[in-house]
Chains A and B, each alone.
Chain A
Amino acid sequence: DAGITQSPRYKITETGRQVTLMCHQTWSHSYMFWYRQDLGHGLRLIYYSAAADITDKGEVPDGYVVSRSKTENFPLTLESATRSQTSVYFCASSVKVSTDTQYFGPGTRLTVL
């Protein structure tokens, strides 16, 4: 059972380039989330999705784009990467209930030079 996977695990890119981080879950969870983790800031929600083709902004959505054409995939795109987007990105999923466990992926460490 693969659970929730992220790719790539590590990525180095340059300022201005477009980058897409992939997230895939095998549980058919309705909800998926993207967070960034930075020292001193904890986990900050970027975007979330309640179902395929339904997405909404979180706390820090600027500079990011998401899509969800299939339930199992939730890619996060940085349209024009900036150094401030250097971070560790976590994808998570949960079943469609109001108080349910979030299952996190292993993370993608992104460095923008």
Chain B
Amino acid sequence: QQQVKQSPQSLIVQKGGISIINCAYENTAFDYFPWYQQFPGKGPALLIAIRPDVSEKKEGRFTISFNKSAKQFSLHIMDSQPGDSATYFCAASRTTSGGSYIPTFGRGTSLIVHP
């Protein structure tokens, strides 16, 4: 059972273009939606995150758009650069009865930005 569905699996854009990665979730109890960026040979690192009480969050060239009613959220990378080439993971988490943070990750999107 895949609780967070991520698409596309791979994405190729030209330098300066917009990269868009989409995620959909099923569990309405999720209350935190981070995106992680992973460069080859490295561990993932938090890029940007959003809570469901806002519809958009922007940090530099990276924007998360959140649609609570559709249970979807997306990552937009404006003015994409070759240095943005990486694998991107969306995730969703909820608070268990014990208060722990149990994330569910999407399967990842491999982004390649051509110069």
Q: Do A and B come from one complex?
A: yes
Chain A residues within 8 Å of B, Cβ to Cβ:
31, 35, 40-45, 48, 50, 58, 90, 92, 94, 96-107
- Chain B interface residue count, CB cutoff 8 Å, equals 28
Q: A50-B98, A102-B103 are in contact. Are A90 and B32 (CB under 8 A)?
A: no
B73 contacts chain A at the CB level, 8 A cutoff: no
Chain B residues within 8 Å of A, Cβ to Cβ:
6, 9, 31-32, 34, 36, 41-46, 49, 51, 89, 93-95, 98-103, 105-108
B100 contact from A35, A48, A103, A105, Cβ within 8 A: A48
Complex Cα–Cα for A45 and B101 (A): 12
Q: Are A107 and B43 in contact (CB under 8 A)?
A: yes
Q: A42-B6, A43-B89, A104-B44 are in contact. Are A99 and B51 (CB under 8 A)?
A: yes
Count of A-B contacts with CB under 8 A?
67
Q: Which residues of A contact B36 (CB under 8 A)?
A: 102, 104
Q: Are A42 and B101 in contact (CB under 8 A)?
A: no
Q: Which residues of B contact A94 (CB under 8 A)?
A: 101
A47 → B minimal CB distance (Å)? 12
Q: Are A105 and B32 in contact (CB under 8 A)?
A: no
Q: Are B100 and A42 in contact (CB under 8 A)?
A: no
Q: Which residues of B contact A100 (CB under 8 A)?
A: 101
A101 contact from B6, B34, B95, B108, Cβ within 8 A: B34
CB closest residue in chain B, given A104: B43
Q: A98-B99, A99-B101 are in contact. Are A42 and B107 (CB under 8 A)?
A: yes
Q: Which residues of B contact A97 (CB under 8 A)?
A: 101
CB closest residue in chain A, given B32: A99
